Structure 1
Amino acid sequence: MRYHHLSDDSALQGREDIVNYIRKTGCIQYDPLDVVGRNPDLVLQARCRSYRKGDIEPLLYQDRVLFDVWDKNMSISTVADWSCFERFRRRFLVWCREHQAVIDEITDYLQQHESACSSDFAHDVKVDWHYGPQRLAKAALEAMCYAGLAVVHHKKGTRRYYALAEKCIPAEYFNMAPPYRTDADYFKWGVLRRINAVGLLWNKPSDAWLGINGLKSAERSQAFQTLLDEGAIVKIDVDGIKHPLYVASENLDLLQAAAAQPSDTTGCARILAPLDNLLWDRKLIADLFGFEYKWEVYTPAAQRKYGYYVLPVLCGSELVGRLEMETDPKRNMLVVNRIWLEDGVDGGAGVMDRILAGIARFQEYNRCDSTEMRCT
């Protein structure tokens, strides 16, 4: 909790802290769904009391210290990590060469204009794309972004506008060599990056490894062993958990300090994002916290155990329940539809008061004037 700034004594305080957190963890995951804010907003509000919905936008599209990139699925990373995605970009550079005429046309347009979206181009023929048939214009702009030729300049809702990468990424990062030279170096870099993304991680199959191209169990195990041999990570045994966990050596002091003097756990509850870094390995969370969580937005309604957009609730170092909320834009109101407490959690022992305080904090983050409690 202290590593993820989810305790009062480690909470993020503002812009610089937010950028440093993303730099430390490598990335935070992006998802376009906006029920009570998009996933990056939800990640950051849990860690920074002064954060308000949309505050990440200037960091992305004005200051440009962050950028949109495919890391663990679609994500947000720091521009200092620009060179790290060279391996991912290769196959999209091949695609761009295969469609050179339209890429040249878009490039020429972006040399003359600050940004463009797919509707600025008349290439309506459908091409095969990774999520299904797509207009050539849209696929070409996305391919340029994935290939490092373009970046997301800004968004209007979920519509993306693109600019040439060389105009937006500082030259010191744009021309920097990637931090790996061989496949083994790449896998080692990726494994350490994911350990730091979660804080503690084990050598088991997990969604945490998504986005590390070509990483299979053998490559992952070899990377773990090399990192151990080099002293970059340390093995941690946890009572009651069969498999060892691993922490970056640079974070061992923090772990030991937290064990010696736990954080204050009396503050208001933190409401977590569905794709929060802490939750990337759901099996690990189940083993560590006894908390089983599935984001059910893609589960058919009749098969959902809880609801469409349900968020975990953290009190101190315990995951005590979950909330289903939505924003009523007409009334500028936060609506709390349901609260579920975990089995064995005593809602009368101050937990509910802390959850209500967390909801009040969440209302402020969500820029709402009031809260309606529909649950009893």
Structure 2
Amino acid sequence: VQYDPLNPVGRNPDLVLQARVPGYRVNDWQQAAYTDRLIYDAWDKQACLVLASDWSRRASIRELYRPYHDREVLQAEADVARTILAEIDARGPLSSHDFEDRKRYSDDTWYGQTRANRVLRALWACGEIVTHYRKNGRHYYDRPARIIPEQYYDMPPLLDKEAYTRWIITQRYRAVGLLRPNAEACIWSACGDGAARKLALVQLVEDGTLTPVRVGEKGTLYYMLSSALSLLDAELPEPHVIFMGPLDNMLWDRKAIQHLFDFDYIWEVYKPVAQRRWGYYVLPVFYGDRFIARLDSRLEKGTWNILHWWWEPDIMPDAEMLAALRDATARFLQYLQADRVSVDENVDSVARTTILNGIRLEA
């Protein structure tokens, strides 16, 4: 599950989980990560939450990025790195604010702008330290041996390149469900080069892990987990409305989403306001087997402020769809743990009435 720090209506892990786990509330994932130790923060396709049980399998990812972080940060700041590790070893979980070295850099990068922050992030990416917990979004780091459960930490690392590539590609399909072999490059981060991925796909089909499928009039090639094939013939559940996060696993391959659902989605959060077509943090709205709308909203001081709602051009909402939207609104209010809702007067009147009815249903 991809992590992103922006928090308009919960962070991306919250949005991903509320779309799938009944009764989920904002920040529930932190219990699984920082108390139960079922998951932990790691670098995958981007910063992600991953299973603690996969620690040994991810050794190749840590080694893959180590030369870059050594070259860019750790070799240049070797003394700082040694000091930080010694302090963590002696004192336990620490953040960048616990170190007096506050030298700042002018460039704004993923590492952060202080020397301590940059060294900590480089050590984290290499697996020398792991996030012990977060406080107001800030990482507090400790050694992995004190965080990753012993039965997983002590497992031998998966260093065979072909075996690792088969494993990580299987995880991508497990995360998304249906993927094109030529999906967006960021999806295949840490999955080897094109030749390694091609070989892995052949091997995964041969051993029955993946099945190739052709979709649409042109027979576009996708692959899926063979274990999920039975779902193609399963009876569809009763349709319900889902508000999806912008970095939801299902949306990772935007071109595939356009091909499969005729839904053109672009996350505009980093675009200048004048260049946005929709809004700052727009959530796709899914119903049954299609995308029906887009929602832009914020949680501010206990109030869920709904700023914009756009129906997709071919959508004519009927009674069943509106009833599902009403129920989804009530669930989302519970997920946010909001006290009240405010719907902008410019919001489509049908959506506005339905959302407010959902809030009254919750009350």
TM-score when normalising by structure 1: 0.84
- Corresponding residue of 2:357: none
* 2:270 is the alignment partner of 1:292: no
Moved more, 312-321 or 32-41: 312-321
- Corresponding residue of 2:190: 212
Inter-CA distance 234–208: structure 2 relative to 1 (3 Å threshold): farther
Shift of 1:252: 2.1
SS of 1:244's partner is: strand
- Corresponding residue of 2:247: 275
- Separation in 1, partners of 2:299, 2:110: 29
% of aligned pairs identical?
Answer: 33
Task: Read off the aligned partner of 1:39 and give its amino acid letter.
Answer: N
* 2:217 is the alignment partner of 1:240: yes
SS of 2:215's partner is: coil
- Corresponding residue of 1:317: 289
Query: Which string of whole-angstrom CA distances, capped at 9 and with x for unpartnered residues, describes residues 50-109 of structure 1?
Result: 111111111111111110001120000110011222223224377246644322222221
- Corresponding residue of 2:179: 201
- Residue pair 2:112, 2:118 contacting (<8 A) in 1 also: no
- Separation in 2, partners of 1:81, 1:88: 11
Task: Read off the aligned partner of 1:163 and give its amino acid letter.
Answer: D
CA RMSD of aligned residues (A): 2.2
SS of 1:35's partner is: coil
Give the 5 Å matches for 1:115-194: 115-125=93-103, 131=110, 134-182=113-161, 184-194=162-172
Task: Read off the aligned partner of 1:120 and give its amino acid letter.
Answer: D
- Corresponding residue of 2:330: 360
- Corresponding residue of 2:66: 92
- Corresponding residue of 1:22: none
Shift of 1:187: 2.5
* 2:48 is the alignment partner of 1:75: yes
- Separation in 2, partners of 1:237, 1:140: 46
- Corresponding residue of 2:202: 225
- Separation in 2, partners of 1:180, 1:341: 49
Structure 1, unmatched stretches of 5+, are 1-27
- Residue pair 2:101, 2:115 contacting (<8 A) in 1 also: yes
Query: Which string of whole-angstrom CA distances, capped at 9 and with x for unpartnered residues, describes residues 13-59 of structure 1?
Result: xxxxxxxxxxxxxxx00000000000000011111221111111111
Aligned residues: 340
Shift of 1:138: 1.0
- Separation in 2, partners of 1:353, 1:135: 51
- Separation in 1, partners of 2:57, 2:315: 43
Among 314, 317, 320, the alignment partner of 1:347 is 317
- Corresponding residue of 2:36: 63
- Residue pair 1:73, 1:210 contacting (<8 A) in 2 also: no
Query: Which string of whole-angstrom CA distances, capped at 9 and with x for unpartnered residues, describes residues 136-188 of structure 1?
Result: 21112112211112111111222111111111112221232333502x33332
- Separation in 2, partners of 1:120, 1:306: 41
- Residue pair 2:59, 2:159 contacting (<8 A) in 1 also: no
- Separation in 1, partners of 2:189, 2:131: 19
SS of 2:27's partner is: coil
Query: Which string of whole-angstrom CA distances, capped at 9 and with x for unpartnered residues, describes residues 220-274 of structure 1?
Result: 2222122112222111122335322211222223x2442xx22222x3x110111
- Separation in 2, partners of 1:129, 1:373: 36
Structure 2, unmatched stretches of 5+, are 350-363
- Residue pair 1:296, 1:307 contacting (<8 A) in 2 also: yes
Among 256, 264, 275, the alignment partner of 2:238 is 264
TM-score when normalising by structure 2: 0.87
Give the 5 Å matches for 1:35-74: 35-74=8-47
Runs of 4+ in 1 over 6 A off after TM superposition: none
- Separation in 2, partners of 1:44, 1:303: 30
- Corresponding residue of 2:358: none
- Corresponding residue of 1:113: 91
SS of 1:237's partner is: strand
Task: Read off the aligned partner of 1:309 and give its amino acid letter.
Answer: Y
